[in-house]
């Protein structure tokens, strides 16, 4: 419920850019579905959403560009369509291991 309230507070001002930290955290399946629909509508309207998440399937579903960060270091910027036959999680693990971390 708190996540929904926080999102409503952010959206009431109709910002051009949203910056969110773990927006899907603590949501039930219906809440997650609602947030996905809201974010996709915001995206279609031409606005920018920047968010962090440890749930890589969420990132993969919504994002046009993905920045992989590890230990405060920018490792790679990717586009989901470039993942081809890998999931974002598989790609993330591969990148982290190649960095020797």
Structural domains of the chain, count: 2
Residue 43 sits in the same domain as residue 88 = no
Task: Report the alpha-carbon distance of residue 92 to residue 98 in Å, rounded.
Answer: 10
Class of residue 84 by CB neighbours under 10 A (exposed 0-12, middle 13-18, buried 19+)? exposed
Whether the per-residue pLDDT at 55 is higher than 70: the answer is yes
With cut-offs at 50, 70 and 90, classify the pLDDT of residue 3.
confident
Residue 48 sits in the same domain as residue 68 = no
Whether the per-residue pLDDT at 1 is higher than 70: the answer is no
pTM above 0.85, yes or no: no
Q: Does 87 reside within a domain? A: yes
Residue 5 sits in the same domain as residue 47 = yes
Residue 73 has φ and ψ, to the nearest 5°, of -110, 130
The tens digit of pLDDT for each residue in 5-50 reads: 888 888 898 899 999 999 988 888 998 899 999 999 999 999 999 9
Residue 2 sits in the same domain as residue 44 = yes
Average the pLDDT over 67-80 and give the result: 89
Q: What is the pLDDT of residue 41?
A: 93
Q: Does 91 reside within a domain? A: yes
Residue 2 sits in the same domain as residue 49 = yes
Expressed as residue numbers, the domain containing 37 is 1-53
Whether the per-residue pLDDT at 101 is higher than 60: the answer is no
Q: Does 75 reside within a domain? A: yes
Higher-pLDDT residue of 100 and 77 is 77
Residue 13 sits in the same domain as residue 39 = yes
Residue 47 sits in the same domain as residue 75 = no
Residue 74 sits in the same domain as residue 95 = yes
């Amino acid at each position: 419920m708190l996540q929904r309230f926080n999102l409503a507070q952010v959206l009431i001002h109709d910002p051009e850019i949203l910056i969110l930290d773990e927006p899907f955290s603590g949501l039930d399946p219906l809440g997650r579905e609602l947030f996905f629909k809201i974010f996709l509508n915001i995206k279609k309207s031409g606005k920018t959403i920047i968010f962090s998440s440890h749930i890589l399937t969420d990132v993969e579903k919504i994002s046009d560009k993905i920045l992989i960060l590890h230990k405060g270091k920018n490792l790679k910027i990717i586009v989901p369509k470039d993942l081809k036959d890998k999931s974002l999680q598989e790609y993330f693990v591969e990148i982290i291991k190649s960095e020797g971390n």
